[in-house]
């Protein structure tokens, strides 16, 4: 049955390759925001950061999470499209495992987001991003970003299968795209008003950002890594439960 999932994954990857503009659109907005933060606000923000902080490094994790949050709206859109066009019905009336079609979407979401993340890393490199991270630290960064992608992918499956329109299937990602703004991704939380600071310090993005930032700078990630993992896995399990329910009832 695994081979059938890969046949279906191959199909969806053809979609991605043939509409390469979606990958570019997904990458271009975060890249624009990165240019803005580094070259417009960066100078001012640096004043409240310790001396010698590379601001490109500092803001990069937040940009990556933003890119993933906008990338999964396409996952939801592709699922909506397959449901709407009866493609799921076709596959599910064939002698293949019922979950194959769903897993193919999840796998495609993971791979396409990793491509976007790579593009953003390359642009950041041009802007002066430098990392002294070792192989193990890089693997951890990739692992956490993949876990975050998977968690949000399962979230995306829910609107993808239950939405009544293509717009409805993808708007859910807008608040997720903005979430990094209200975290420690672009400016230290110490300068924020008490209520915002409390929110910023206790929402999932901050722990993930802090972890990725520490790993890329080859610094100990401390407690943040466990909080980040707990958030990702927790979101994934809850979303998976509702996504599977939607798949069972709607497809």
**Binder to other proteins among 50, 95, 175, 193 (CB under 8 A)?**
95
Sign of CA dihedral 39, 41, 44, 45: negative
User: Closest by alpha carbon to 82, among 105, 108, 48, 58?
Assistant: 105
Q: Which of 8, 60, 64, 177 binds other proteins (CB under 8 A)?
A: 8
By CB under 8 A, residue 49 contacts other proteins:
no
Task: Say which residues have a Cβ less than 8 Å from residue 145's Cβ, sequence separation at least 6.
Answer: 64, 68, 114, 117, 212
Closest distance to other proteins from the beta carbon of 3 (Å): 9
- Total number of residues shown for the chain: 251
Closest by Cα among 245, 67, 92 to 173: 67
Site for other proteins, residues 125 to 154, rule: CB under 8 A: none
Of 54 and 84, nearer to other proteins (C-beta) is 84
Minimum CB separation of residue 106 from other proteins in Å reads 18
Binds other proteins by CB under 8 A, chosen from 39, 40, 48, 85: 85
* Among the listed residues 224, 182, 220, 174, the one whose alpha carbon sits nearest the alpha carbon of residue 203: 182
Span interacting with other proteins, options 4-12, 120-128, 149-157, 170-178, rule CB under 8 A: 4-12
Residues that bind other proteins (CB under 8 A): 4, 7-8, 11, 14-15, 18-19, 84-87, 89-96
């Amino acid at each position: 049955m695994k081979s059938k999932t890969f046949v279906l994954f191959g199909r969806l990857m053809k979609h991605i390759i043939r509409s390469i503009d979606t990958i570019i659109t997904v990458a271009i907005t975060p890249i624009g925001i990165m240019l803005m933060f580094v070259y417009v606000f960066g100078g001012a923000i640096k004043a409240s950061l310790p001396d010698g902080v590379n601001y490109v490094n500092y803001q990069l994790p937040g940009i990556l999470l933003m890119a993933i949050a906008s990338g999964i709206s396409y996952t939801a859109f592709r699922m909506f499209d397959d449901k709407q066009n009866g493609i799921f019905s076709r596959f599910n009336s064939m002698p293949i495992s019922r979950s194959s079609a769903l897993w193919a979407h999840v796998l495609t979401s993971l791979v396409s987001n990793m491509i976007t993340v790579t593009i953003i890393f390359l642009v950041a490199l041009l802007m002066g991003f430098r990392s002294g991270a070792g192989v193990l630290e890089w693997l951890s960064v990739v692992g956490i970003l993949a876990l975050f992608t998977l968690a949000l992918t399962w979230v995306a499956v829910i609107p993808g299968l239950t939405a009544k329109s293509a717009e409805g299937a993808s708007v859910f990602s807008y608040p997720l795209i903005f979430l990094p703004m209200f975290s420690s991704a672009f400016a230290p939380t110490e300068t924020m008003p008490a209520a915002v600071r409390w929110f910023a310090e206790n929402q999932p993005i901050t722990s993930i950002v802090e972890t990725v930032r520490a790993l890329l700078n080859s610094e100990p990630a401390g407690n943040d890594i466990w909080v980040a993992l707990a958030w990702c896995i927790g979101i994934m399990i809850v979303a998976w439960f509702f996504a599977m329910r939607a798949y069972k009832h709607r497809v």
